[in-house]
Structure 1
Amino acid sequence: MTVVSGVTVKQLGEIALSLGMVEAMNLDGGGSSGLYYNGSYIATPGRLLSNAVVIKILNASPMTILLNSKPLFFDTEPYVNETYNRTLVPLRGITEALGASVGWNATTSSITITRFDTKLELRVGSATVLVNGKSEMMDVPVLLKDSRTYVPLRFITQYFGGDVKWIQESRTVELTINDATQLIEQAKQYEASNQYEEAEQRYKAILEIDTNNIFAAKRLAVIYASLSPDKIKAIKYYEKVYELDPKDAANVSSLAWAYYGNLQLNKAIEMFFIYDEMVPSSGIGYYGAAVCYSHYQKNDVESAVKYYQLALKKTLTPAQVDIAMTYIKEHE
């Protein structure tokens, strides 16, 4: 016999299930527990009964719901609605499992479910759902059962980008949905082993789940800028990072040089000036602007000399100092 402490009634039930117990009853008097099994006490409770978990043999095999291969447990049972022949699950349980948040819109008297960039609005008794403001129809309404709100499992999962598979033999529902945290760890591992195409695929998948994931955008920018060069794509993701965090000075510098590398000189100069305002002690901003002005497509010698001179008054690398001084000397 195993003594388990510090668990909820629901957790104790899960433990009993994992041990393969049937027709078992756990009796908890608050300070101690008893276990009643197969007609007799295995352990006698030390106090009066306050709550219990009962596990019994069912006429049919219970439904199992797996999320990314891990079983889900709810405080109220999912069920198949015979009218619609659809699996319904408790609203709060499934949304928490999917990493979504639940709210209430008092203005429209509707339930809101939000996961990253996807927002659903539902009403009890209605099969209409607003997906990011666009009206769509489910083939089963949101229902109340025993004062609990139930939603169609397949539709809720698919609206958040997941896949649903029903296995009749084992009465199992398999849910598969991308998790940003897991994908980030996978992408990091692929990057560390120089498998950049695999890392790229996962970072893109993260942005499909969460378009505002700044880490994924940064890593894609780096991959396209240097590890798997593609200037246009590098600029796309540097711009994405700048949109999400305009105060990231390192990204501003990277974006400026990416513009320069793609001969978008006016944009590059603009970003170099922004960088100079952000990091006034560094000469990189003026230096980068001077490099752009000295490019043959602009050939603005006066501006190039001016900004090289200003850059020399700030912090530069020895190599940058040499380039600036050489240009100034050649164009005196």
Structure 2
Amino acid sequence: MVNAAKEGFTDSKVTGRAQRSFIGETKDRYLVMGTVNNVTLNELALILKDIGIVNAINLDGGASSALMFDNKIITAPTRNLSNAIVITRKKDKPVRIQLNGREMFFDTDPYFSNGRTMVPLRGIMEALGATVGWDSSTGTIWASKGDTRVDMWNGSNIIRVNGEERTLDVPIQVKYNRTHVPVRFIAEIFGAEVDFNQDKNMVTIRLENSSPTEVYDKAVAELNSGNSAEAERLFLEVLKIDPSYAGAMLKLAKLYSSTDKEKSAEYFEKFLEIQPKDYEAWNTLGWTYATLGNVRKALEIFKFLTTEKPDVAAYWIGLGDMYAHYQIQDYTSAKECYNRALSCPNISESQKNSVYEKLKKYQ
């Protein structure tokens, strides 16, 4: 919302200068919070870009803008505040988990119990490529991968691996409303090598038999059978194993196109960093941004497409539609684009009819 006026916001607190608060992250995933005095939203965005912030959110500003660090007020609010974002130092050194060289993060923190590192069951199992389920009739929690199945019960240190009973050093535990398991025991059952780096307080897991292509093929099969939820999980698993697997990025981008446009755009962007010459992916990304209301971003994409592929009518039509959008309203440029579309050698009859209807509006 850098151009507030074109988004329909007229309040001076949004369109003009004000005290601003923000939270964002650098490309190295460092969290940054701060305040800036007497700036517009556009100026705030430029300042954040200059200091290396790649993603940011503008928070409540004006009289609510405040910042405290190390028990000292840096920016004082001019009214009483009822809520705040607070970051505190952990009392204990956090337990860290790494899988195949990449650090993992769960919705609850790992912890020690009787000298064993406990991690959320679902998070670790899915990272290892296993499927997790629960039998409500018996209270059995199960995890399965390939020809290995593990049955577990909350509060019990007895588990069954393919029907054979084994005893854990610590029982399966429920903490923070999540089931936790000892990471070494469980990971080794599924063929992983586990070590502990005491200096970093980090459990390192190596799972060499994870093939991203095998998981990808399984995901495609699930998608073709109509099981989109399982396909999504498996495509995400592919990217955990190989973060540069472009095919999984494209599948996720298309999968999210009907349910979550922002996620769809995110994965199209990641895919195009690896496959920048996939012009149809660029075209879909352009329309995705247009649907999200980011018309200027869509405009830049269609400009790029018409430069790269000047003989494709669809790209000129897309660019014309962006110029004609109410956020831009450059009808002269829109007409020029529509006329360029008509001169393209492979324009279809339906495209011609559509363009003629558009041009009638500007005669």
Q: Report TM bin, short chain.
A: 0.3 to 0.5
Query: Rg: which structure is higher?
Result: 1
> What TM-score, normalized to structure 2?
0.44
